Structure formats: C-alpha cells, structure tokens
Amino acid sequence: VTAYIPGIGHNLQEHSVVLVRGGAVPDLPSVKYHIVRGTLDTAGVKDRKRGRSLYGAKNPNPKKKAS
C-alpha cells in the first residue's frame, strides 16, 4: 500500500507498523491513504502549535491544574 506521510519529517523505516486512514492526496496519483501521525511506530510532528490533532503533536503548554 502506498500512503502519504503528512507533516514535516518522519521516523519511519521499512518494516514500521503504522495506522492508515483513507483520503486521497490531490497532487499524487494512486496515493489513496494517509498515515496517522502519533500512533504505533509513527512519531508526532515536533514544534507543531496549530492543527495539532492531525499531526499527533502534544500541547506545548498544557494548563496547570489548580489545587
């Protein structure tokens, strides 16, 4: 299966296990799937501030719990 890796950079190697979702890439013919970042062997995108859920990025400044 040929799948698109969204975001900048990745840590995937030949036998990495990945989660795949549907969704074609407009500029690439015959690429009908996207890899889900931040799951299984795929790391999230570092230093991503906006649109984090699509790229598996954690919140850079999580809220502190009031005690």
Pairing outcome for strands 3-4 and 33-35: parallel
**Residue 62, in any domain of the structure:** no
Assess if residue 42 is contained within a domain: yes
Looking at residue 23, its pLDDT comes to 92
pLDDT in the model for residue 21: 92
CA distance 45 to 27: 22
CATH of the domain at 21: 2.40.50.140
Annotate the chain with DSSP letters as a single string: --EE--SS-----TT----EEE---TTSTT--EEEPTTSTTPPPPTT--SSGGGTTPPPSSPPPPP-
Contact (CB, 8 A) for 34 and 56 = no
Domain span at 11: 1-57
pLDDT in tens, 7-46: 888 888 999 999 999 999 999 999 999 999 888 988 888 8
Residue 53 is assigned to a structural domain of this protein: yes
Task: Give domain status of residue 30, yes or no.
Answer: yes
Structural domains counted in the chain:
1
